């Protein structure tokens, strides 16, 4: 038992460190897109059009994430989760550092946005394979009854990465907006090289997933993607429907909110909103593991329902109060939204992982999460910006958020949950058997 707990702890810490670095790289780009990349790489004289163009490149990474899921899912299901995760970390780090080295449109013209889009696509490939593999390493190492908690270590990397990214930009705003636009924006991208070195050292010290070694070795599929689409097509679709708030809603409350708050309509200072987002990331970091722990005690689906309902109840006033420019309320509700969304994000690792049997699980979860993220997160900031332009009202964005929450609740209710203690036999049985242990059947309610 001690050995199992020790392995689970090491896997959880490695997942946390790795995903922190991956999400730091991702959020550095998201923050830069909201603040400076538009005029630097897509100059048009129209601030709204420049921001929309920058958000479009932000969406590119989400569009290629399913491809990353297929590619690294294949590697993870054939060669092991650990091999795949080392490659994704290297790919993300290289792409992020190169973004920090790019000349702008003023220097090389149209080649600048083209190179930016290509590097953003590489980031998307890396994240497409990263999240699913990190989830499986933490959840598959964990004993039954503690999978949501250890899965929470992977989810902890998201607020930690966001905290680092927004924190670095918040520090740089102290030097003035001109400092960021005149080259300071490159610093957070270049810092990634140090973090990647740390992440590789941590990941090399973790053993391969015991579920992969015991239940996948000897049962490997020659084409994991074909197996996943034939056997797991329904859970994959339900997994995509689980993610609107966990992914898209999160970017509405962070990336879109940053752009909306600092735009001409609201006019908050960049320093204020970045400080608020930094504090919110820290608060989310503190509550993520306790929320994941509650997922094992109360049921991971029940925590998900609570998170969906309370996310709506906090997102609405957050959007409505921004034009009032009452700074304490901006800080308060930026943090409240992140706390409630942590209840939709912390349990999602275990929910998605346990929706699939071990065979082709990496491909299945990476494909489900990649397509879901591309659909919901990739386009949410861009579509919200367009809704504001079309309607002139923040209520259109609020209505979109409520609809996303409703869909997520329905798919959560329908999602199956399997136990890793059950034997894996034939493809037919893996496709038809949706029986879970009594504890997991209770969690389904």
- As given in the structure block, the two tokens for residue 431 are 């496709």
Distance CA 142, CA 145 (A): 8
Of the candidates 238, 337, 329, the one whose C-alpha atom is nearest the C-alpha of residue 284 is 337
**Of the candidates 162, 92, 190, 189, which has an alpha carbon nearest to the alpha carbon of residue 133?**
92
Closest alpha carbon to 157 in 305, 14, 321? 14
Are the C-beta atoms of 407 and 244 separated by less than 8 Å? yes
Do the beta carbons of residue 359 and residue 429 sit within 8 Å? no
From the CB of residue 94, how many other CB atoms can be counted at a distance below 10 Å?
A: 17
What is the torsional sign of CA 264, 267, 271, 272? negative
pTM of the model: 0.79
Structure tokens at 330: 């901006």
Number of H helices, E strands in the chain: 24, 0
Domain ranges of the chain: 2-444
Rounded Cα–Cα distance for residues 169 and 172 (Å): 5
How far apart, in whole angstroms, are the C-alpha atoms of residue 29 and residue 420? 37
**Count of alpha carbons within 13 Å of 436, Cβ hemisphere only?**
20
List average pLDDT for each run of 10 residues in the chain, which is 445 residues long.
73 86 80 80 74 74 84 86 87 89 88 88 86 87 88 88 84 81 88 84 78 64 83 94 93 88 83 87 92 94 97 96 88 95 93 87 89 85 88 93 97 88 47 38 37
For 2-444, which CATH superfamily applies? Answer: MFS general substrate transporter like domains (1.20.1250.20)
- Look at residue 22 in the predicted model and tell me its pLDDT: 76
Contact 239, 348 (CB under 8 A): no
DSSP H stretches of helix in 299-426: 300-321, 327-345, 348-353, 361-372, 380-391, 395-414
Count of C-beta atoms within a 10 Å radius of residue 332: 18
Q: Which of 172, 322, 345, 330 is nearest to 251 (CA)?
A: 345
pLDDT of residue 166: 78
C-alpha to C-alpha distances, 371 to 241, 256, 334, 338, 364, nearest whole angstrom: 10, 20, 27, 23, 11
State CA 228 to chain mean position distance. Answer: 22
Which runs of E-coded beta strand occur in 136-195? none
Residue 173 confidence (pLDDT): 79
> 């879901």: which residue's tokens?
372
Looking at residue 444, its pLDDT comes to: 35
The helix/strand/coil state of 140 is helix
Q: In 3D, which of 148, 161, 172, 152 has the Cα closest to residue 282?
A: 161
């Amino acid at each position: 038992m001690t050995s199992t707990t020790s392995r689970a702890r090491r896997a959880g810490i490695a997942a946390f460190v790795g995903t922190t670095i991956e999400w730091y790289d991702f959020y550095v780009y998201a923050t830069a897109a909201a603040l400076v990349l538009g005029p630097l790489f897509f100059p048009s004289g129209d601030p709204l059009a420049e921001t929309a163009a920058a958000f479009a490149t932000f969406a590119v990474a989400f569009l290629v994430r399913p491809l990353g899921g297929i590619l690294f899912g294949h590697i993870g299901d054939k060669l092991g989760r650990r091999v795949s995760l080392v490659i994704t970390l290297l790919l993300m780090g290289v792409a992020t550092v190169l973004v920090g080295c790019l000349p702008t449109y003023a220097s090389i013209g149209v080649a600048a946005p083209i190179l930016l889009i290509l590097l953003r696509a590489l980031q998307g490939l890396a994240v497409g394979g990263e999240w699913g593999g990190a989830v499986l390493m933490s959840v598959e190492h964990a004993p039954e009854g503690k999978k949501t908690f250890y899965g929470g270590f992977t989810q902890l990397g998201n607020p930690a990465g966001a905290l680092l990214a927004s924190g670095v930009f918040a520090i740089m705003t102290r030097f003035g907006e001109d400092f960021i636009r005149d080259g300071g924006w490159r610093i957070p991208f270049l810092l990634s090289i140090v973090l990647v070195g740390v992440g590789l050292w941590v990941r090399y010290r973790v053993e391969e997933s015991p579920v992969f070694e015991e239940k996948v070795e000897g049962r490997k599929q020659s084409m994991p993607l074909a197996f996943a689409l034939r056997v797991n097509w329904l859970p994959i679709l339900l997994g995509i429907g689980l993610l609107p708030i966990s992914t898209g809603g999160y970017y509405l409350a962070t990336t879109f909110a940053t752009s909306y708050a600092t735009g001409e309509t609201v006019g908050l200072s960049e320093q204020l909103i970045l400080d608020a987002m930094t504090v919110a990331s820290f608060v989310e970091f503190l509550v993520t593991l306790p929320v994941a722990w509650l997922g094992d005690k109360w049921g991971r689906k029940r925590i998900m329902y609570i998170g969906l309902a309370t996310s709506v109840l906090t997102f609405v006033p957050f959007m409505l109060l921004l034009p009032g420019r009452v700074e304490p309320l901006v800080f308060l509700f930026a943090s409240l939204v992140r706390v409630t969304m942590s209840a939709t994000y912390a349990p999602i690792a275990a929910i998605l992982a346990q929706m699939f049997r071990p065979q082709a699980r990496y491909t299945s979860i990476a494909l489900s999460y990649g397509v879901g993220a591309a659909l919901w997160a990739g386009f949410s900031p861009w579509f919200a910006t367009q809704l504001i332009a079309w309607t002139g009202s923040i209520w259109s964005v609020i209505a979109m958020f409520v609809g996303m929450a409703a869909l997520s609740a329905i798919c959560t209710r329908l999602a199956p949950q399997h136990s890793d203690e059950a034997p894996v036999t034939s493809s037919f049985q893996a496709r038809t058997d949706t029986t879970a242990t009594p504890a997991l059947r209770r969690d389904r309610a």
